[in-house]
A and B are shown apart, each in its own frame.
Chain A
Amino acid sequence: MRTVETSGKTVEEATQKALEDLGVSAEHALVEIITESSPGLFGIIGSKQARVRVTEKMSPEHYLSEFLQTVITHMGIAGQVEPVVTDENLRFNINGQRMGMLIGKRGQTLNALQYLLNVAYHKKFPGEGHRVILDVEDYREKREQTLRNLAINLANKAIHFRKEVVLEPMNPQERRIIHTTLQDNASVGTYSQGEEPYRKVVIAPK
């Protein structure tokens, strides 16, 4: 968290200056008064300036919302960022125009942005264990449905031909969807092979 110390004629004035330096509003800052101002005699002799220490106080979802909003604006995209906080996840949905540009081929832009968001989050809030998930117009939900269907179709293929089926490389979340879809299927087993970022799921008949 960033902190600045400022002086002014009054506590209010010093605080105002500090907030401007930090670029945050009063509700997102913690103000400590170091010295109160005193007018002194005739405003000259013995007058003392107020001094305050202001610390930026920002919740992770607020910080990340602003981060995302700034990034997409710089990308030339008009979109609304909407945070959804659960116990283990910080989820952000973006809605707007030209969302395809934000998703990219097989979600690669979305995943890159989600990764950067995670890195920025762990940098700014070390020790906090939420996972940051980024979604655009329910893309992930639709993709999950697609992957479930794919898993079921390829499992049938593996059973039918009595051969292992190797899927295309996927990120950990997508691989997990394949594994969990087939974990209750008694006729096939699944495992992953290869190294990130080219790790693939293999569906093997039992």
Chain B
Amino acid sequence: MKDLVEFIAKALVDQPEQVSVERLEDNYAITLELRVAPEDMGKVIGKQGRIAKAIRTVVNAAAVNEKKRVLVDIVQ
């Protein structure tokens, strides 16, 4: 799941070496925190959040294998 987000993000940004994903888990959900270079923020969010939404849709589809909800947060 973490690798999925990382792989997609790296394909979209100018600085793939600055992409990192951290997996946090509590009782209710798994949160994947995606970090990219500040100049690349727009590349993973997109106009009106379209790219971020598409990433979340793909991750949610993959999340049927998990027992918890999987959230993708883009953090600075």
**Chain A interfacial positions (CB closer than 8 Å to B):** 67, 70-71, 74-76, 101-102, 104, 108-109, 112-113, 115-116, 119-120, 123-124, 197
Contacts and interface: CB of A to CB of B under 8 A. Distances in A.
Contacts of A115: 50-51, 54
Nearest to B61: A109
Contacts of A197: 50
Given A115-B50, A116-B51, A71 B12 contact: no
Contact of A71 (B7, B43, B50, B65): B7
Question: Which applies to chain A's interface (DSSP): helix, strand, loop or mixed?
Answer: helix
B65 A76 contact: yes
Contacts, number: 55
Of the four ranges (under 10, 10 to 19, 20 to 34, 35 or more), the interface on chain B belongs to 20 to 34
A67 B50 CA distance: 20
B74 to A, nearest CB: 15
A116 B7 contact: no
A115 B11 CA distance: 13
Contact of A67 (B11, B46, B58, B62): B11
Given A112-B54, A115-B50, A102 B61 contact: yes
A137 to B, nearest CB: 16
Nearest to B50: A115
Interface string B43-67: 1001000110111011011101100
